[in-house]
Chains A and B, each alone.
Chain A
C-alpha cells in the first residue's frame, strides 16, 4: 500500500521535484487502459527520453474481493469463485483449493480422479502458455502468432467444454474428486489434439526462433539475478529461466504427479528469451504428461466414497432415503470441515499458487487466502525495468505472464 501512495504522490509532484534536482524526467502513466498491460495494470514510469529511470506497478484495479466472498459461501460454493481468480488457469486454482480442503477433511481421492486432475491441469497449462505466447508475441509486434496460438487454444477450450460444459469457468474439480464422469469419447478428443500439438509448437518456434528481430528484442532484455528473484518471491517459469529447477510438481508432488515422467526445463540467462524458451519447453513437457495420462488412465471412481461431502448419484438420491438426506444437507447447509488450517501449493502455469484455508468447524471457510504467483512475480517489474527502454518494458511485462485477476483477487 505504501508503494501505491508514493507512486501517486510522485506523479502529482512537479517535474523538477520528482527528479530530486537531477535530470528532468517525464512521468508516463501506462495503463490502466493500455493495450499491452493485459488487463488493468497501471505502470508509472519516469522517462528520460526513451529510458525508464523508475518504474512502479500500481495494482488493484481488478480487486473483486474474492477472498472475502469465500467466507460467506459453503465449502463447495467456493470452487466457482476460484475459477475467477486466474481465469487463464482456472483448473489449477480449483485444484489448489480442493487439495487444501481435502487435506483438512483427510480425504483419499481415487486414483482415476487424481489422474484426470493431472491431465486437465496440464491442458490448462498449455492453454495458459498459449495465451501468453500469443499476447507476448503480439506485444513485440508479431501479430500473426496470436492467431496461431488461439487456433490451438480454441481446441483446448472445446475439450474443457466437452468435460465440464464450460469453456473458461469450468469449476470441474470438486471437493472429493471431479464434478462429472469424463464424457464418452474423451480419449479420442484429447488424443487427437495432443498428438497434433507438437507440430504446432514446432511451427511457433520456426516463426520466432529463426527471427533476428525477435532475438534482438528478447535476448538479454529484462535480466534479473536469481538472488534478487528469490528475495522478491518470484516463482514459476521466471525463476526456472534464472537457473533454479524449482517446480512444485517435482519437489512437493501433489495429486498423481509423482507417477508421471517429465523434466523441469531450466535456463540460466534469466532474460526474456530464456523465459520464452522455458515456457516453450514446458509446452512439450505438458504434452508428454497429457499423453501419459491418456495412455495410462486408471479405471475406477471419479469421486471419493464420502457420503455427506460428495453429492450422491442422482438415481440414488431419488431411490434411497439416506442419499436423499445427504443430498438435502449438502445442498441446503453444506458440509462441515473439522477446525484447523491447511496450506497447499500447486505449480500453476505462472508459478507457486498456494491456498491457505482456515476452518472453524462451520459449513463455510473462516478464511481463504491465496498466495498467487502473478502477485509475487509482478513485484519484480520495478527493478527489472530500471534504466531500460520503453519498448523493453513491453517485452518484460509479456515475459512475466501475469493475470491481473490473479494479482488483485
Chain B
C-alpha cells in the first residue's frame, strides 16, 4: 500500500467523508428496500404476492417508486403556511437521518492499514444525542400537521405531539437501566461492555447479563419505540381510517416521501439502538470459533434453497432469477471465509441480522394488530409504561449497587 495514500486516507476528515458516503449510500438503499421487504412480507401474511411487476420479484420497485416520487408535481396548496409547510418534511428527515451518525455497526477494524471504528462519530454522549434528536423529531410531524391548515392534519399533528412526548419518558427510562450496567453513554462502549460469554455459552448481552437481566427493559423499549416511530398499533397520527392520511394529508411528491423516509429511518435507528443496548450489538450469539461459521452456513443454506426453488419454478421467471439469487448467496457465503474480510463481515452480519429480526417484528405487528384509541394510548403510557419503567430502573440500580 502506498504510504501517501494511507496517510491521506488516515486523515480524519477524509476518512469521515468516505465513511459518510458509504453509510449514506447503504442506509438510503436499505431504507428503500426495507419498504420493499415490508410490502412483500405483509403481502404474504395477507395472502397476496406484493410487488412483482418491476424487475424480478419486484426488486426494482423501490427505484421505480423513487423516480415516480421525484418526478411528481410538487404541490403546495394555497391555504398552507408555506414556510413551515416546506420546513416540516425537511426537519423530519434531517433529524431521522442524523441519528444514524452515532450508531456503531461493528468493532474497531483494521483495513488498508488504517485503524478505525465502524461508526461515523463516536460521541461520548451518543445516547443523549439520540434522545435529543428523537425529541426534535416531533417537530416535523407537529409542524406538518399545523401548517397544512387541514383539520385532519391538525388532529394528526396534535395526537403525534402528545403521543411522542408521553412515550419519550418510558423510552428514556428503559434506556437508563442498561446504562447502569455499562456505565457509559457512548453507544460503542455500551456495546463493548456486552462482549464475551457467561458460563462459556450464555452471551453477556444486557438482556441476559447478571446481576440484572434487562428483558423487561427491552420489552418496554420496544413498545415505547413502536409509539415513538408512529407504527401500528400506535400509528394514530396517520390513522388512515380516521384521519384520511393524518399529518401528511396535504403533502405530495418528495415532501411526502421525506416523511416516509423519516419513518423508516427512525425504525432502523430504533432497532439498531435496541440491538446495541440490549442484544449485544455486533457480538455473536455463540462463542468463537463457531460464530464465524454460522453466517456462511446460513447463506449457503439460503442459496441452496433458492436454487432448489429455481429447479421447480412456480412462476415463469423463477427458473432464471432464483438460481441467480442463489448464486449470489453462495458467493456471499464464501466471502465470509476470506481471512482479510472476516473481521469486518462477521460482526456486521450479527449486527445486521439482529436489526433485521427486530425490523421484521415491526412489519409483523403492523400486519396483525388493530390500532389503539387515543385515550387508551395515553393511559397505557402513563398508567402502565411509566410506573413499570420507573420501578424497573430502581430495581436495576439496586441490583447493580449491591452485586456489582
Q: Mark A residues whose CB is within 8 Å of B.
A: 26, 28, 34-36, 47, 49-50, 137-144, 146-148, 151, 207, 211, 213-214, 216-217, 389-394
Contacts and interface: CB of A to CB of B under 8 A. Distances in A.
Contact of A213 (B367, B371, B375): B371
State the 7 A-B residue pairs at the shortest beta-carbon distance, nearest first: A141-B371, A147-B46, A141-B370, A142-B370, A391-B373, A36-B241, A140-B370
A34 B367 CA distance: 22
Nearest to B236: A391
6 contacts: A141-B235, A146-B46, A213-B369, A216-B372, A217-B370, A391-B236
Contacts of B239: 141, 391
Nearest to A390: B242
A28 B45 contact: no
B303 interface: no
B342 interface: no
A276 to B, nearest CB: 12
A137 B373 contact: no
A148 to B, nearest CB: 7
B244 A35 contact: yes
B281 to A, nearest CB: 32
Contacts of A211: 369-370
A273 B233 CA distance: 19
Given A141-B369, A142-B369, 11 more contacts: A35-B244, A137-B370, A138-B241, A139-B241, A143-B367, A211-B369, A213-B369, A213-B370, A389-B374, A391-B236, A391-B373
A52 B373 CA distance: 14
Contacts of B370: 137, 140-142, 211, 213-214, 217
B65 interface: no
Nearest to A150: B47
Contacts of A213: 233, 369-372
Contact of A147 (B47, B240, B241, B369): B47
A147 B48 contact: yes
B151 interface: yes
Interface residue range, chain B: 20 to 34
B48 A142 contact: no
Contact of A144 (B235, B236, B367, B372): B367
Contacts of B124: none
A134 to B, nearest CB: 11
Contacts of B373: 216-217, 389, 391-392
Contact of A391 (B151, B242, B244, B369): B242
A35 B245 CA distance: 10
Nearest to A141: B371
Nearest to A146: B46
Contacts of A394: 241-242
Contacts of B393: none
Contacts of A49: 158
A214 B368 CA distance: 11
A148 B151 contact: no
Nearest to A218: B370
Interface in B209-258: 232-233, 235-236, 239-244
Contacts of A214: 370
B155 interface: yes
Contact of A141 (B42, B152, B241, B243): B241
Nearest to A393: B242
Nearest to B48: A147
Contact of B47 (A140, A141, A151): A151
Contacts of A390: 155, 242-243, 374
Contacts of B48: 147
A342 B398 CA distance: 81
Interface string B343-370: 0000000000000000000000001111
A35 B155 contact: no
Contacts of A50: 155, 159, 374-375
Nearest to A145: B370
A139 B241 CA distance: 5
Nearest to B151: A28
B71 interface: no
A216 B371 CA distance: 10
Contacts of A36: 241-242
A139 B372 CA distance: 12
B376 interface: yes
A137 B370 CA distance: 7
A140 B242 CA distance: 9
A390 B158 CA distance: 13
A49 B242 CA distance: 14
B79 to A, nearest CB: 15
A389 to B, nearest CB: 6
Contacts of B155: 28, 47, 50, 390
Contact of A35 (B42, B45, B241, B376): B241
A144 B45 CA distance: 7
A143 B367 CA distance: 6
Interface string B6-32: 000000000000000000000000000
Contacts of B47: 147-148, 151
A214 B232 CA distance: 13
Given A140-B370, A144-B45, A389 B241 contact: no
Contacts of B240: 35
Among B45, B159, B370: residue with most chain A CB under 10 A: B370
A409 B271 CA distance: 52
A138 B367 CA distance: 11
Contacts of B236: 391
Given A36-B241, A217-B373, A144 B151 contact: no
Given A216-B376, A392-B373, A140 B241 contact: yes
Interface in B115-155: 151-152, 155
A265 B232 CA distance: 33
A370 B302 CA distance: 61
Interface in B319-363: none
